[in-house]
Amino acid sequence: MSTPGKPFVRIDKNDCVLLVVDHQIGLFQLVRDFGPEEFRNNILAHAATGKVFNLPTILTTSAETGPNGPLLKEIIAMHPDAPFIKRQGEVNAWDNPDFRAAVKATGKKQVILAGIVTDVCTAFLALSLIEEGYTVFANADASGTFNAQVAATANDRMCAAGVHVCSQFAVNCDLMRDWRNTPGSLEMLPYYDTYLTQYGFVARGHAAAVQDGTILPGESV
């Protein structure tokens, strides 16, 4: 007799908040499980998801006047009116009362988050949110740490506690659900053209073929 698997928990764009956790220029330099260009792109994509889907978004930093450094200026420009909690000492963002209050004030029951580093800033907060009764989706593409082994251990720890560890593409597709929705292809294809080159070029190639394409001898669908 087979053991039933866990149910597929969907992301509800009407019931989730997006958290940007410690995406700071000093901490960024600790990340070695992604190349710097790829990871910068990933964390900007994470923040942009909040804009595309009109999600309540909360920014937070840890001791930003020290070596951790400030939040990426591109993220602040993207979310100029978002609550921005500058923690003075708390490692786990959930230990900061202003941050807890900001999350609770959204009234949302699902959380999408990413941070630097995966094993501390992402994992500690994700585990605390699970304990508080939230459904948590950790964006693995926008969480970085010292090496791939540390990332895998942290992701295993979160999964074991009930956190849904997902790629950025999985998060976006579950938020969208149907290309005919809003946001749908009109909003997401430009997003992918900016942040997910592989899919952006799939769309560009299709557009070029429709507009100017010629089927070559031996080519078939």
Calpha distance 11→138 (Å, rounded):
12
CA 151 → CA 65, 113, 135, 160, 182, distances in Å?
26, 15, 21, 14, 34
CA 7 → CA 4, 98, 138, 164, 177, distances in Å?
9, 33, 17, 12, 17
Alpha helix (H) residue ranges in 53-147? 73-78, 97-105, 123-131
**Which residue out of 16, 121, 159, 166 is catalytically annotated?**
121
Q: What is the DSSP letter of 179?
A: T
Active site residue 121: yes
Calpha distance 21→98 (Å, rounded):
14
The CA-CA-CA angle for residues 181, 74, 37, to 5°, reads: 90
User: Which segments of the chain are extended strands (E)?
Assistant: 16-21, 57-62, 84-87, 110-115, 135-139, 164-166
In this structure, are residues 21 and 125 in contact, taking their beta carbons and an 8 Å threshold? yes
User: Which residues are known catalytic residues?
Assistant: 121
